[in-house]
Structure 1
Amino acid sequence: MQFPTAPTATGQHWYQRIADVRSPWIWLAYLPLFGATWFGHPPGVRDLIVSAVGLLIFLALYVYAARAPARRALSASILIMALAFAMIPFGGNWTVLAVYACSTAAERRPARAAVQLVGILVLVSVAATILARLPWYAVAMLALFELMVVYGKMAGMALGEKHGALLRAQEEVRLLAREAERERIARDLHDVLGRTLTLIALKSDLAARLAASDPAAAEHEIRDVAEAARGALAEVRATVAGMNHAGLGREIEASRDALATAGIACDVDGEDLAISAEDGAVLAMALREAVTNVIRHAAATRCTILLEQEDGAARLTVSDNGRGGDFREGSGLRGMRARLSASGGRLRVDVSDRGTQVTAAVPAVAA
C-alpha cells in the first residue's frame, strides 16, 4: 500500500490515486457497513462511544499497516481481528473489521505466509460467529466474503508486482539501448577517424619534408590535410546522427589514396562486383579499419583488396606483405567483429611471417 501525494512523481493527482484500486483509501468505503446492524437496533450512548473509539483505533492500525504492509501485516491483522472480537458486545457489525483483518493479512510476504495467516484468521472469525450464535448463512457469508476479498487483494498485488517487474525490465532495456548506442558511436568514431587521422599525419609529415625543397607540393599536401579534416568532421557528424552509411566503392577509392600516400602499393580485385548497399556499408567499415591497420602497424609495401561473392556470402579480404608475426587484437578489430556479428557475418584474421590477411564476410543480400 502506498499513500497518495499530490501531485505525484508519476503525474497522478491525489484524487486519481484515491480512485486507484491499489490505494488503501478506496477500501475504506466498506467501513460504514459497521453500523448496518444499528438500523434495526438503535445503539445506546455507551455503544456509540465505544464503537467510535474502536473505529479510531482501527483507522490507526490501518494507517500503521498501510505504511509498510509487508512488514506489518502480521501484527496489524492480528490486532484488527482482536479489535473486531472486542466490539462484539456493543452491537456494531464487527464482521466488517474481521474482513479488514483478513485483507491486511493478505499483504504479508512471502505469499505462502500470507495464505497461512489468512487461513488462521478465517477459521478464528468463523468460530467467533458460531459462538455468537449467528445463523449458519451468516457464518458462510462471512467466510466467503473474507476469502473473496483476500483473493482480490492478492490478485491485485500479484498484478502490481508483475507490472513493477515489467517497468524494471523496460528500464533495463532502455539502459542497454543507451549503452549499445554509446558503443556504436564509439566504434564508428574509431573507424571513421582512425584512417583519416593517420592520413592527416602522413600528409603533414610529407608537407614538412617538402616545405623547404618544394613549397608548392607542400602547399598541396597541406590543402589535402585541410580537406581530409573537413571530411572527417562531416563523417563525425553523420556518425553521431546515426546516418553514416559508407559506400564500398567510395571506400575503396579512399583506401587506395591513403595507401598511396603511405607509400604502399595497392591492388584491387573484384571492384566491379555487384554487392548490395547493405552489405557494402558493412564491408566498407571493415575495409576502412583493415587498411588503417595496414598503414599504421604492418610496415608493408603492398596491400591487396579482394572482393568476392560465393556460397551466399559477400566476402572482403585485405592482405599485406608486412611484418605479421606477433598479433594482438585491438579495439578496432573488436569493433569490426561486433559490427559484422550484428549483421550475421564473421571476421577472420590470419597472421604469418609473410604478412596479415583479414577476411570479413556477411550474408549476401540481393543487390
Structure 2
Amino acid sequence: MTARLSTDTPMSLSWFKPTPDSLWNRFRDRPRQRISGLLNLVWAVYVFGDLIFANELGPGWGLATALSFPIFLLLYAAAYIRPLRHVTWYAGAVALLSYATLKFNHTGGASYIIYACAMLGFEGQPKKCFVGMATVVGGFVAVTYLMMDWSLAVVAMMSFIALSVGTVNVVYRFNAQRDVELKLSHDEVRRLAATAERERIGRDLHDLLGHTLSLITLKLELSRRLFDRDADAARREIEEAEQVARHALAEVRSAVTGIRASGVVAELASARLLLTASMIDFVYRADVPELPPRVDNELALVLREAVTNIHRHAGATFAEATVSMDDRACTMTIVDNGRGLANGEGNGICGMRERVRTLGGTLAFESAAQKGTVVRIHVPLVPADRLPPVDTRQDESLPSERDRLAS
C-alpha cells in the first residue's frame, strides 16, 4: 500500500506509525501477541551482562553499549511497525551491530545475534529464514572464534541458542498460519452451507410454481367456459393468466440467477482463503451491502480477477478490499502493496474493464513500479436496481378462482 503523508504530519512522526502490512498490524486481532513481542525485550538485559559476568570491563565498553543499544531498540521497533518484507534488512543491520560490538561488549554482541535470528523468523518461507540465520550465525562464528579466539564451547552454545530461537519463531509462525487457514476453512464450510440453503430455497420456489401453474390452468379453463356466454369476461381471464405467467417467468429467472451467482460476499471469502495461503494479509469489511443482482454478479468476477492478479503477479504482503453503495452508485476499491503495474496491463485487466463497461461504470488504476496498486470501480445504479422485490405470494387467489369456476 502506498503511504500518503499529509503536509501537516512530520516525516519523523509518520515513520513511527505502524504500516498496514507490518507485524504489529498483523496481530491486530491478537493483542496478546503484540504484548509478547514487547515482553521479548526483557532478554535485552543481557546486553549489560558484562557488568555481572566479566571480571573487568574492557576499554570502550560504555561507549559501545551506549551507542549500540539505542540503535538496536530502533531496529527492533522497525521490525514490528515497518513493512514486514523489510524485516530481513533490519535483522541484517542488527547482525552488523553485533559484529561491531562483540570486541567491546561480549554478552551484548551475542545478545544482538540472538535477536537477529529471532527477527529473521518473522517473514519468508522456512528455507529463506534458515539460510538467513545460518549466514548470521556463520558471521558470528567467524568474528568470535576465528578473529577473537573465543572458546569453542561458548561459540557453539551462543550459536545454538540463536538458531533455536529463530527456529521457534518460524515454527510458531507457520503453526499460527495453519490455525488461520483452519478458521478460514470453517468460514468456507459455513458459506457452502449457506449456498446449499439457497439452492434448497430455489428448489422450493420451483415447487411452488405448481401453485402458479394451477392458477393459470384454472383461469384458462374459466375463460373457455365463459367464451360463449361473456366474451369480455373470458378476455379478462386470459389477460390475467398472461400477466401471472409473465410474472412467474420473471421470478424464476431472478431466483435462478441469484442461486448460480457467487456474489461479492462469497468471492471475498474465497479471496481471503487464496491470499492467506500465499502469506498475503487480506482485509475486508464483513458488512458488505446487499448489491443489485446484475451488479453483484459482475463485480464478483472483477474482484476474482483482481485477487488472482495479486496472487500471481503483485508480490504483495498486504491487500485490502472495500465495497460501498448509496442511492446513486456502487463503489469497490482493491488495494495492494506489491510491485505495481510495471509491465503494463494484460488480458485480465482488459477483461475487468469490459465487465465494468457493460455495467455502465468506470474502472481506474493508480499504480507505479514498487509502489503498489489501487483499483477503483464505480458503477452507477439504474432505477431498476433500486426497486424492492415484488411479493409474488398468491395463496388467497387460488381458492377464489376455484369458487368462480365452480359457479
Q: TM-score, structure 2 length as denominator?
A: 0.45
**Structure of larger gyration radius:** 1
Larger RCO: 1 or 2 (CA < 8 Å, sep 6+)? 2
